[in-house]
């Protein structure tokens, strides 16, 4: 399985005076088997960036093709302007404390390893930290989602998985740290909620304890410029079209096409950075945040968002 990740939005907490609509920053994963990727390359080998595709009809055509070839898509978004710097720092402190507390029963080598990854997380500015947390949640959701719909794939489709990510913001270093956190979380902090006995290829056993091995599930990470990898361009397009749909700047003939792409559990998630509630529903209309009622994507968002 090829898992392509890209983003849309600037992840800035600065509000634009002219912006009064729900305008989420998001990260997207487009998952394609080798045969599906080959079909995508045959049609869209020369595809440009999503932000350069202005025509609604062209966007519809691209999304429809992804549905036709069987792509599985995941999105995690947030509205960065809704959270203060204090909110983000409290979230960072909570996350770091949770990781450190989880290591108390571990050996010294593992504890020191976690601390090294945490030091990197501390070094990120709030903008990059928010993006990192979205990508972390995205990687976890892709893992959960693909495993939970394994009936869609042949066994070999979920072996030798490869994660592809755009080369921006020192992403290679960030992704490697996030993969470590995902692997640690899946076996220590928040075990993934599926029957691992169905997945013997991804099970590790240490001191009599069996757990899902994220490293076995995702053995290869490729960081490459999105202008060279057509799969990353697909993720770029979906992220851009999703964000434009939320802003009501994209009108599709078939609004349900996003729902067809977001076919898995865990496909749509919204990350909240206020520590009094980790998950929230779509923000409701207010004086400072107006959601276009006719925006079709929001209905899908409200129906599909993870709340537990």
**223-244 per-position pLDDT tens digit:** 887 778 889 999 999 999 888 8
Question: Which helix (H) or strand (E) segment is 111 a member of?
Answer: helix 108-123
> What per-residue confidence (pLDDT) applies to 22?
61
The pLDDT, as a whole number, for residue 209 is 65
Provide the Cα torsion 133, 163, 70, 25; round to 10°: 30
Closest CA to 39 of 2, 8, 12, 82: 2
Which residue ranges in the chain fall short of pLDDT 70?
15-23, 50, 105-107, 109-110, 150-151, 168-173, 180-199, 206-211, 265, 275-308
Candidates 202, 218, 239, 197; CA nearest to 77 is 239
Under a CB-based contact definition with an 8 Å cutoff, are residues 80 and 12 in contact? yes
At residue 180, the pLDDT reads 67
d(C-alpha 236, C-alpha 252), whole Å: 18
H-run or E-run covering 163: strand 162-166
Question: ∠ CA(120), CA(131), CA(105), 5° rounding?
Answer: 45
The pLDDT of residue 188: 56
Please give the pLDDT value at position 65. Answer: 93
pLDDT at 286: 34
Closest CA to 165 of 181, 176, 149: 176
In the prediction, which pLDDT does 181 show? 66
pTM of the model: 0.82
pLDDT of residue 63: 92
Decide if 4 contacts 25 (C-beta within 8 A): no
Neighbouring residues of 232: CB distance < 8 A, sequence distance ≥ 6 = 4, 5, 6, 164, 165, 166, 224, 226
User: How many CB atoms lie under 10 A from the CB of residue 277?
Assistant: 8
Residue 149 CA to residue 138 CA, distance in Å, equals 16
């Amino acid at each position: 399985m090829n898992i392509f990740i890209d983003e849309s939005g600037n992840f800035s907490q600065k509000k634009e005076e002219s912006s009064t609509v729900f305008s989420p920053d998001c990260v997207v994963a487009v998952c394609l088997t080798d045969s599906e990727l080959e079909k995508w390359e045959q049609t869209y080998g020369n595809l440009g960036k999503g932000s350069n595709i202005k025509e609604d009809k062209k966007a519809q055509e691209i999304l429809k093709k992804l549905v036709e070839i069987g792509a599985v898509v995941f999105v995690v978004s947030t509205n960065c302007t809704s959270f203060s710097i204090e909110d983000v720092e409290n979230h960072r402190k909570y996350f770091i404390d949770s990781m450190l507390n989880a290591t108390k029963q571990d050996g010294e080598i593992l504890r020191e390893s976690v601390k090294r990854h945490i030091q990197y997380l501390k070094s990120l500015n709030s903008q990059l930290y928010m993006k990192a947390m979205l990508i972390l949640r995205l990687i976890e959701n892709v893992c959960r989602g693909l495993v939970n719909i394994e009936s869609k794939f042949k066994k070999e489709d979920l072996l030798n998985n490869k994660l592809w990510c755009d080369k921006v913001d020192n992403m290679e270093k960030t992704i490697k740290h996030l993969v470590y956190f995902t692997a640690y979380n899946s076996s220590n902090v928040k075990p993934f909620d599926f029957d691992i006995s169905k997945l013997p290829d991804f099970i590790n056993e240490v001191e009599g304890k069996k757990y899902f091995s994220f490293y076995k599930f995702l053995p290869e990470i490729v960081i490459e410029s999105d202008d060279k990898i057509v799969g990353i361009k697909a993720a770029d397009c979906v992220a851009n079209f999703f964000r434009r749909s939320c802003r009501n700047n994209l009108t599709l003939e078939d609004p349900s096409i996003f729902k067809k792409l977001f076919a898995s559990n865990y496909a749509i998630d919204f990350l909240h950075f206020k520590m009094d509630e980790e998950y929230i529903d779509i923000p409701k209309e207010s004086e400072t945040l107006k959601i276009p009622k006719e925006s079709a994507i929001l209905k899908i968002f409200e129906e599909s968002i993870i709340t537990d």
